[in-house]
């Protein structure tokens, strides 16, 4: 018998699996690929390496404000979970409310009770609040709510806030992306706490409303920037301002107003930052500057309270 000709004896194998015979080539790199390594393409098939290389060269889709497009509002879910867990914790241990609520300046008496701050306090009394270095109160208070013992509004407080966060937060997160949305929420919460510190330092305050007013303000700013129906967004803003006025009778209007102003400033920076490669840098810079201003104001107010000049 005559030996096989070279064309008949040549066997082509997959470049990744040398033991697997195959006859299909990648249309990009021209290497032989087996069925396990084939990836369908517009024309023919690609190998896994060419697919991976192509994915790196594809520009990632972004929202209108530069954030990554997300399919699930994970930050909103996480914030709701943190608020609910904090509420359950304060129900089990009511002392959490006293220790972590927003409080600029107060006194703890020898009997363990809480008293209004005085420039000079009697022997046996000790300062509490931000003036005592409890800076964490500026953020922790934004995750606490009125306990059930406060009557019907005690339950409604967290229910109303979480419903608002669910309805508005998901929309804003989808528009901004997770990191920008989280920055908005955190700065709005801090801004609300700061205005409480400035205008009502001896009042103990709790609630996510400051942060939610900031998120709601961002909803309005972003909707206007995207060209939404002005009548619809104006009605939304009118309702928000109406609630700000009505809330003065039952909750901390200072926290609401502070969150509204801070959230508006952050949203304006996000919405009107120039497009292009520097947009993220401009947005991040605006957040850092705003954070620095809020921190300096908090430190200055705390120092003034401690020295009796506020």
pLDDT tops 50 at residue 60: yes
| Span 158-180, pLDDT tens digits | 998 999 999 999 999 999 999 99
- Spans of all domains in the chain: 10-57, 74-307
CA distance linking residue 7 with residue 126, whole number of Å: 95
pLDDT by residue (tens digit) across 21-38? 888 888 888 888 898 888
pLDDT average, residue stretch 282-300: 96
Reported confidence tier of residue 192, pLDDT bands at 50, 70, 90? very high
Q: For the domain covering 74-307, report its CATH number.
A: 1.20.1540.10
Give the tens place of pLDDT for each residue, 248-269: 777 789 999 999 999 999 999 9
296 pLDDT higher than 70: yes
Q: Which residue has the higher pLDDT, 60 or 112?
A: 112
The model scores a pTM over 0.75: yes
pLDDT of 117-157, one tens digit each? 877 777 778 888 899 999 999 999 999 998 887 766 778 88
């Amino acid at each position: 018998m005559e030996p096989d000709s070279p064309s008949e004896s040549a066997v082509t194998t997959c470049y990744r699996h040398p033991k697997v015979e195959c006859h299909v080539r990648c249309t990009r790199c021209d290497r032989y690929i087996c069925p396990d390594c084939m990836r369908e393409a517009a024309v023919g098939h690609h190998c896994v390496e060419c697919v991976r290389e192509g994915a790196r060269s594809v520009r990632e889709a972004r929202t209108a404000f530069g954030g990554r497009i997300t399919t699930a509002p994970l930050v909103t879910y996480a914030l709701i979970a943190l608020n609910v867990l904090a509420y359950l914790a304060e129900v089990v241990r009511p002392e959490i409310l006293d220790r972590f609520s927003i409080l600029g300046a107060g006194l703890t008496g020898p009997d363990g009770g809480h008293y209004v701050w005085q420039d000079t306090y009697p022997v046996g009394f000790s300062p509490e609040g931000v003036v005592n270095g409890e800076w964490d109160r500026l953020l922790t208070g934004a995750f606490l709510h009125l306990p059930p013992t406060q009557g019907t509004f005690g339950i409604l407080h967290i229910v109303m806030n979480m419903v608002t966060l669910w309805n508005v937060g998901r929309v804003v997160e989808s528009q901004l992306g997770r990191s920008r949305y989280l920055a908005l929420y955190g700065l709005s919460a801090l801004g609300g706490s700061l205005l409480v510190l400035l205008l009502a330092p001896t009042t103990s305050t709790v609630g996510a409303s400051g942060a939610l007013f900031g998120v709601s303000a961002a909803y309005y700013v972003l909707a206007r920037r995207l060209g939404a129906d002005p009548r619809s967004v104006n009605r939304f803003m009118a309702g928000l301002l109406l609630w700000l006025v009505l809330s003065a009778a039952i909750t901390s209007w200072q926290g609401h107003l502070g969150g509204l102003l801070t959230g508006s400033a952050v949203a304006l920076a996000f919405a009107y930052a120039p497009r292009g490669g520097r947009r993220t840098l401009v947005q991040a810079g605006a957040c850092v500057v705003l954070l620095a201003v809020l921190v300096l104001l908090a430190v200055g107010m705390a120092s003034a309270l401690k020295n009796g000049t506020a």
